[in-house]
Structure 1
Amino acid sequence: MRRTTLTDWVCGVLYVLLVLVLLTGAPRAGGVLHAVGSLLAVSLLAGVVRRRPLTALALTLAGATAVVVLPHHPSNAVLTLAYQAAFLSFLAVDLVVGYIVATRTRRVCVAAVAVAFTVQLLVIGAFSHGDYLILNGVIGLLALVASGMVGLLLRERREHEVALRAQEVAEAVTAERLRIARELHDMIAHSIGIVTIQAGVAGRVIDTQPDEAREALRAIETTSRQTLSGLRRTLVALRQADLATAAGEREALAPAPCLGDLERLAATTADAGVRVEVRISGEQRTLPGDLELAAYRIVQEALTNVVRHAGTGHCRVGVDYGDEELTVEVVDDGCGAAETGSGHGFGIIGMRERVGLLRGRLSAGPRPEGGFRVVARLPLPETAPAGAEAR
């Protein structure tokens, strides 16, 4: 910070010295040369403009005024015309004003524009000759207005970009919250449904059939442990700030579920009293993790609805590995209640959100012949066509 401040002061002093050298070294040179020289000297103030624009404005005002005031007034008409070009040095002031308008508060902008306009008006009024008074005044005013308008455009563009970034952050936060809500719902709803049913079974047969009660309690323990592991994995994902700790915990946790875990899911559902028949067709292969997780969660939520609402002891799960899409189907022959997952929860809503994120299609509803049917069609990415399994 001290080095930057020292550099700014050095550059400011060099700018002043360079302008004085231009004026005293060639006092009778044309105004065009003085103006061009002072404009080039402004390059020394690049860092000052960025960090201390008001200081830069004061220096450029002093330099431009000196370029107009200090040289001797020529008497020849041609020299007088050339002398009027010295007012071009105020373009440096206009550039600094434009930067201030683009980057500083409105109060500072108004003050900077007022000071620059007043100084230019006084200098042009005092040192313009004859007909050049109006010409120099109009040109100076137009240049100041143009720099201010450019600054306003840059300011609006920057504010728009900031608003867009804020909106993107808000949308990302909302999307992440929805993803976490879906993940927790799909994981906990299934597990709690299994635990509830097994607890009811254990409560009814604990006196008459203690062996079955013990089996139900074991199923409750297993399901609870799996749910706890999933909750820990989700919480670790939410605590990304502590990367070292999070990485260590993630290594000790099981990976996210995939289609390869359907048999285990079917066994868990069977413990709750619903036998699941799993049918896999097509060329089975490894798919992207988000697609496999979505397919697994859709099957899990559909099985949860079967256990809770269908009132049947059997259902069928079908997974078809197509060339262009993965099709997941869950069919039962139960009561086929239309309100399954929609009127009393967020099951169907969560399924539609998962499928929508992957640009797929979902149909869920009662079957004409009885029961309920859930079908999700998830498009496969082009980078993973049929037959592209690992070799």
Structure 2
Amino acid sequence: MSAQPQSRARRLAWAALLLFAAVLYPVVLIATVMKGESGFVAVEVLVSAVLTVLVGALLLRNPLPVQGILLFAWTFALVQMQNEAIGGLQALITGIGVGYIAATRRPRISIPVAVVTFAVQAGSVFAFLSANDVLLMTLVLGIIVTWMAGNSVRVRRVHAERLREQATAQAVADERLRIARELHDMVAHSIGIIAIQAGVGGRVIDTQPAEARNALDAIEATSRDTLAGLRRMLTALRKDDPGTAPLGPAPGLGDLDGLAEATKEAGVRVGIRTKGELRALPPDVDLSAYRIVQEAVTNVVRHADTDECRVTVDYGDGELAVEIEDDGHGGVVGAGYGIVGMRERVTLLRGEFTAGPRPGGGFRVAVRIPLEAAAR
């Protein structure tokens, strides 16, 4: 027999046992009470206790019918015995049922159950015991306390579930923003280079075939790099699939030379200067710094109307500083999503970001990222 049929058989056997206990419970309980002081009462009390535990287990699955069974069994036992101990057990056990129902059901269900349970408790006590105001207040407080305790558990659980749902939704939104930034940085830079190279090739294809061929080579190389980056991103999105392996590492500051070479083909020379001691950076810092340089250089190619720009990377003791400057006509802060995306990246890493025209002309993007905060 396979594991699944065995598990199903066990569940059916357990359900049958619990249902049998629920049906047998009132009979055994009433028989135990009616025996009184006979010699078999100890055994029957033990059987009643075991059945009480089994019925309590059934309460976890079917609380409303089981609450009715508990009320019937203990009320009938109180009618037969008319004993204060039986009355106390009736209030205690049925009160526990009210608390569990309040913890697992909405108030529109649990409140009527609590009212009916209290009415049965109070009616049976007044009818068959020497009831007084103190006993009545005890029953009232008991049912209120048990209901409030159960309902507070339900409220906390619902609140926790809502917080988890909000956290999940926020995580999804953050991931979508991250993917959007990655796609924008990757595609905007590459398409900008391709568009410029295509324009150059189109203008010189008849007069300078060699230059046109170089432009087509640059377009091919840029297209292949972009395709590889997109495949890496899609692979990352499918990383939960078994057997899926990443197709390549994410880019970082170590890839700036390749970025400069591709940008040179688009007509802009990128001068790269490094300060401080080169060292490994946290992956998110390394990727974000590269994307910021990539976006800033793309803006130079597309908007600055200049043939060169400067990139400075400073590996400080506790921070990474990146600066991109040009002497062109400058850009417009806030236009498009490039500046916004760079600012978001730096903000997520608890860094500082500035972008704007330079006093002597051109445009400047400056970033400072604290490495300690990024590591945490």
TM over 0.5: yes
Choose which of 246, 268, 271 in structure 2 pairs with 1:274.
268
Structure 1 stretch displaced more, 38-47 or 164-173:
38-47
Summarize deviations over 1:245-297 as a string: whole Å, max 9, x none: xx14x2xx221101110100110111110101111111111111111000100
Structure 1 stretch displaced more, 91-100 or 182-191:
91-100
Asked if structure 1 preserves the Cα contact closer than 8 Å seen for 2:21 and 2:51, the reply is no
1:5 aligns with 2:15: yes
Alpha-carbon separation, structure 1, partners of 2:374 and 2:162: 35
Aligned-residue offset at 1:17: 6.3
1:196 aligns with 2:187: no
1:55 aligns with 2:55: no
TM-score w.r.t. the length of structure 1 is: 0.85
Alpha-carbon separation, structure 1, partners of 2:311 and 2:224: 25
Amino acid at match of 1:271: E
Alpha-carbon separation, structure 2, partners of 1:189 and 1:209: 28
Alpha-carbon separation, structure 2, partners of 1:8 and 1:44: 6
Aligned-residue offset at 1:142: 1.8
Aligned-residue offset at 1:236: 2.2
Aligned-residue offset at 1:136: 2.6
Amino acid at match of 2:237: L
Choose which of 302, 306, 311 in structure 1 pairs with 2:300.
306
Asked if structure 2 preserves the Cα contact closer than 8 Å seen for 1:194 and 1:272, the reply is yes
Alpha-carbon separation, structure 2, partners of 1:352 and 1:15: 69
Summarize deviations over 1:178-218 as a string: whole Å, max 9, x none: 00000000000000110111011001111111100000011
Aligned-residue offset at 1:239: 2.9
In structure 2, the partner of 1:297 is 291
Alpha-carbon separation, structure 1, partners of 2:183 and 2:37: 81
Change (3 A) 1:233 1:279: same
1:159 aligns with 2:153: no
Asked if structure 2 preserves the Cα contact closer than 8 Å seen for 1:188 and 1:227, the reply is yes
Alpha-carbon separation, structure 2, partners of 1:333 and 1:218: 29
In structure 2, the partner of 1:80 is none
Alignment of 1:1-391 (within 5 A): 1-12=11-22, 15-16=25-26, 19-20=29-30, 22-27=32-37, 42-71=52-81, 83-89=83-89, 90-129=91-130, 132-244=131-243, 247-248=244-245, 250=246, 253-337=247-331, 339-340=332-333, 342-343=334-335, 345-381=336-372
Change (3 A) 1:62 1:375: same
Amino acid at match of 1:260: G
In the comparison of the two structures, how many residue pairs are matched? Answer: 360
Aligned-residue offset at 1:128: 2.2
Alpha-carbon separation, structure 1, partners of 2:134 and 2:260: 89
Amino acid at match of 2:84: Q
Q: Which runs of 5+ in 1 are unaligned?
A: 29-33, 74-82, 386-391
Alpha-carbon separation, structure 2, partners of 1:102 and 1:305: 59
Instruction: Report percent identity of matched pairs.
Output: 49
Q: Which runs of 5+ in 2 are unaligned?
A: 1-10, 39-43
Over the aligned positions, Cα root-mean-square deviation in angstroms equals: 2.6
Aligned-residue offset at 1:148: 1.3
In structure 2, the partner of 1:79 is none
Asked if structure 2 preserves the Cα contact closer than 8 Å seen for 1:363 and 1:375, the reply is yes
In structure 1, the partner of 2:5 is none
Asked if structure 1 preserves the Cα contact closer than 8 Å seen for 2:327 and 2:361, the reply is yes
SS of residue matched to 1:51: coil
